[in-house]
Structure 1
Amino acid sequence: MATKTWKIEKDLCRCCHAEGTFDNLAEPRTFLEKEEVYSDMLRECLDLDIPPVPGELCAITYSICNACITRLRDACNFKKQVQDCEQRFMTLYYKNAIQGLNTETVVKEELEVSIDDNHSDDDIETIVLKKEEDDDDDSFMDRDDDDDDMSEDFAITKKPTTSMKTRSKPKAKPKAPPVKKEKPQPQPKKKAEPKPVKEKKGPVLYDDFTGTFDEAGGKTFTCNACGKVFGKRGNFSQHYRQVHLKQRPKLRGCRFCDVKVSPNLRAFHMEKHGLPAPSCGVCGKKFARPSEVLSHQRFYHMGEANYRCEPCDIGFMKNSGLQRHMAKHKSDKPFKCELCHKSYKWRNNLRTHIMVHTNVRPYVCKVCDKAFIQSSNLKYHMTTKHPNDD
C-alpha cells in the first residue's frame, strides 16, 4: 500500500491545518495598540504548548490563520472577564458589601414576668407564661386527655377577659362516638378510551423519492421530481422542501445592518462589514461554515476519501457521489424517451433531450440573440463567435 504524503506549499495553521499566508506564532503582533504573542496566548489561556519542529519545516508550519486568531483572542478576553468579575465579587464579599434577602427567623426569648392586678389590659398583652414546676402529682394526674398535646410554654396573644390568677381551665368536650362508615360498593370499571396520538415534533420527512440499495448495503434517495440523488433522507427532505415546495429557511438578521439573509449566505454577507468568510488557505475558495473548509481541505488537498470506486480508484466524500459515478460502469440506460426511444443513464440527460423535441432554448446570446438548450453550448458560442465581448 502506497504511503500518503502531505505536500505543504504555503504556511500551515497549526490550529486548523489550513494553508495560506499566515502570521508566525512566536512573532509579536500589535492589535488595538496592544502587543500579542499567539504562542503565549495559547499557553496562558488554553494551557496548550505548540512547539516548532526543527529543519526546513519550522518556518512554514509554525503559523496561525486569521480565523483562529479571532477565536483565540475571544477566548483570552472571556477568561480575563471571568477573572475580573470573580476578583471583584470576592473583594465585595469579604468587605460585607453584598446584601441579600433576610430570610432568618427571629427567636423570642422567654421572660419570667410577675403579674399584678393593677396592670392594665395593654400591659399584659403578649406575655409569656411558664409552667409551674411545683405542681402536685394529683393535679398532674387530673388533667384531661386533650391537654397532652399542648406544649409546656405557650404565649397569650389576645387580651384576657378575666383575672390571670382566677382563670379556670376549659373543660374537655365529650368525644362523640365513632361513626361507622359504610364501604361504597365498587362501581363497574369503564373502558379506557384510547388517547389521541400526539404529533411528534421535528423535521417533516417527505416520501416523494425512490430508494435504492447498493452492493455494500448503503441506501440512496433519488428525488422523483428532479432526479437528484441524496445519501440521507434528511438531505432529500431539505431539498424537496426548499426547491419544490418553495419553503425557504428562515432569514437571520445582521447585527450591523437591517438586511436579513439565509444561514448559508450569512458568512458572505458579513464580508461587507469587514468579517472574512471561512476560506481555504490553499486555493482561496470561500465557504459558509468552517466545517466545510476542513472537509474541502481533507478531500481536495490531503487526499482523504470516505468512499472509493474500486474499478477506477476515484475517491468521494459522500455515498451519493459514488452512486452517481457507478452509473458510468453500468451498461443499462433506464431513462428512455417516449418520442424517439433514445435512452440515457441519468434523468437530467433525458430532460435535456426532451427540450430538443419541445424546442425550449433557455440560454440566449446577448450579441446575436441565438438560443441554445445547454449553457455549455452558449459558452462555446461566445468563445468562438464573440471572443471580444463579455
Structure 2
Amino acid sequence: AEKPYKCSICNYSGKSSKVLKLHMRIHLDGKPFKCIECNFSCKTAGHLKVHKVYVHSDEKPYKCCECGYSCKTPGDLKKHELTHSFDKPYKCAECNFSCFKRNSLRTHQKIHTGEKPYKCNECSFSCIQSGTLNRHVRTHTGEKPFKCDKCNVSTRHYGELKKHMLIHTGEKPYQCSECDYGCRSSAGFLRHMQKHR
C-alpha cells in the first residue's frame, strides 16, 4: 500500500494525513498522552497503554508457554522466562512438567486433579486461575475496562484493545510475502492468501 505522507523529522511514512498527525506526536517536546486515572503523562500511546495495564489493571495478558504464569508486561515475561533456563526443582509426579516455583507446580497440578477453585457466581463456569475468572466475569457484567485513548471504544480484554489500536496507528502486522498486501487481522490475511494458491 502506498504511504505518501512522510514525516519531516524521521523516515516514517503513513497512508493518510491523520495517521501522520498521530505519528508526529512522538516528536513533540511535551508529553501529550495523559492517564485519566492519575497524573502520569508520556510521549507515546504505547507507553501510556503499558502504564494503564501495569498500574491500573489486574489484567495479565502475557503468558508463559512453559508453565502458565501470566504477567502484565513483556519485560516481566522475559524475566520470568529466564527462570526456565535454570534448574527446575519442582517436578510434577503425573507428567514431565517441572518448574522454578512451588506455586507454579501447585497451579499446574490442578490440571491433573481437575480442581477448579475459582467459581463464577452467575453461572457454572469454574477455572484454575483467578485472572481467568476475572476475564470471564466481564461476560456477565459487560464491563469494558480497556479504553482507547484516541476514540470512545472500550473493550473487555487487553488483546481486543491492542487489535483496535491498529486502526489508529495504521499498522498492518500481517504482510503478504507474495505481493504488497497487508492487513490488521489474521482472518483477512488467510482470505487474501487463498488468492495466491
TM range (shorter): 0.3 to 0.5
Q: Of the two, which has the highest radius of gyration?
A: 1
Q: TM-score, normalised by structure 2?
A: 0.47
Q: Which has the higher helix share?
A: 2
TM-score between both structures, scaled by the size of structure 1: 0.27
